[in-house]
Amino acid sequence: MAPVVLDLRETDDSRDVVHRAVQALAEGNVVAFPTETVYALAASALCDDAVGRLMDILPSSATAAATPAALAIKSADEALDYVPNLCSLGQRLARRCWPGPVTLLVEDHHPESVIKQLAPGVQQAIAPQGIVGLRVPAHRALQDVLRLLAGPVVLLDAHCSGDVDAVTAREVIETWDRQVQFVIDGGRCRFGQTSSVVRVENAGFEVVRQGVVSPQTIKRLASMIILFVCTGNTCRSPMAEGMFRQLVAQKLGCRPDEVEDRGVIVMSAGIAAMMGGRPSAESVAVMNEMGIDISAHESQPLTEQLARHADLMITMTRSHRQAILAEWPEAADRVFPLCEGGQDIADPVGGPTELYRRCAEKISAELEHWLNKLPH
């Protein structure tokens, strides 16, 4: 029987298509979805029979057989439900890559993993060797389906003959018309290329399959980001950034301009900063006395993306931390005042150079202990 085709482009309300797709998955059907990469064949992870029929498709594609089925989840926050002991590197990549075209392969051995609550056949399908592939697709329709469906979705890339990736609904229908009950037609996929598959372990990562995101970009996304935050990002946080980069360079045995190549990115921002402002002349002069050049610094506001990507946000005052948590409460375990004793670093703006010098000395005295508290 030919699959039912639901065209997202020809409906007045996409929610109708989403609700029908949710119902189809819940009833045990195999549904083809557009993603931002290529079309994917999907089955509800709560339907053992549907996942079994989905996996029966796998041997017919050599490319698909080389990569396990992925488990599509709602968000990066859900990753710890499926892999409770996900390492800090895995959490870092999840925050920065999702939603998006990256599948993370991680070990699934924790007894409290939600995966252990799935049927044995489903567990075998998604983690045949104790390794599960997690992904949060960036396509709106599939995201809406995941939000409404009771559980996660098992995904397989839809391949045409010759292992060519299906990037249109027509290609899916021509190849899988007897195995798929519903096809969600969203037009041609945005990237038209498979997701990048990255194996993550405590010791590091390996790009198992090159896809939309290049290995070079993955390397940068895997870097540790330390973000110093003040108000205007023209004196306190730029000085802290410059001094801390120098400390990290000394610890790693490299030059400050080589720190980023070693996997550590040191940045700064301001909660009320404008874009492109220059550092104060006094802070530049004080840093020059310490052999640190911040003259090229340009201020930037603290954005949602910066707050999400940072592994550690170090604020100059307690009120800066409170302001960040008021906007992004989920970042509570990654935001700390610079001073452990509860003191604030007062803003020297408008004061003489000596005031900036004393400010820099106070910041410097607090930075050393943060080297030993960096996330692994």
The catalytic residue among 96, 236, 245, 321 is 236
Contact criterion met (CB below 8 Å) for 345 and 338: yes
- Nearest Cα neighbor of 124 from 157, 154, 152, 149 is 154
The pair phi, psi for residue 234, each rounded to 5°, is: -120, -10
CB half-sphere exposure, 106, CA atoms < 13 A = 26
Contact criterion met (CB below 8 Å) for 298 and 276: yes
Q: Which residue has the tokens 């980069």?
A: 245
Q: What is the DSSP letter of 27?
A: T
Is 170 one of the catalytic residues? no
Contact criterion met (CB below 8 Å) for 282 and 348: yes
Is 230 one of the catalytic residues? yes
Which residue type, as a one-letter code, is found at position 299? Answer: S
- Burial class, 120, CB count within 10 angstroms (exposed 0-12 / middle 13-18 / buried 19+): exposed
CA angle 186, 189, 190 (to 5 degrees): 120
Q: Say which residues have a Cβ less than 8 Å from residue 89's Cβ, sequence separation at least 6.
A: 200, 201, 202, 204, 205, 222, 376
How many whole angstroms separate alpha carbon 228 and alpha carbon 248? 14
The catalytic residue among 189, 230, 235, 339 is 230
The catalytic residue among 262, 347, 357, 358 is 347
Is 254 one of the catalytic residues? no
Cis peptide before 152 (omega within 30 of 0): no
- Nearest Cα neighbor of 228 from 285, 270, 187 is 270
- Burial class, 122, CB count within 10 angstroms (exposed 0-12 / middle 13-18 / buried 19+): buried
- Nearest Cα neighbor of 73 from 174, 145, 173 is 145
How many whole angstroms separate alpha carbon 7 and alpha carbon 252? 54
Question: What residues are annotated to the active site?
Answer: 230, 236, 347
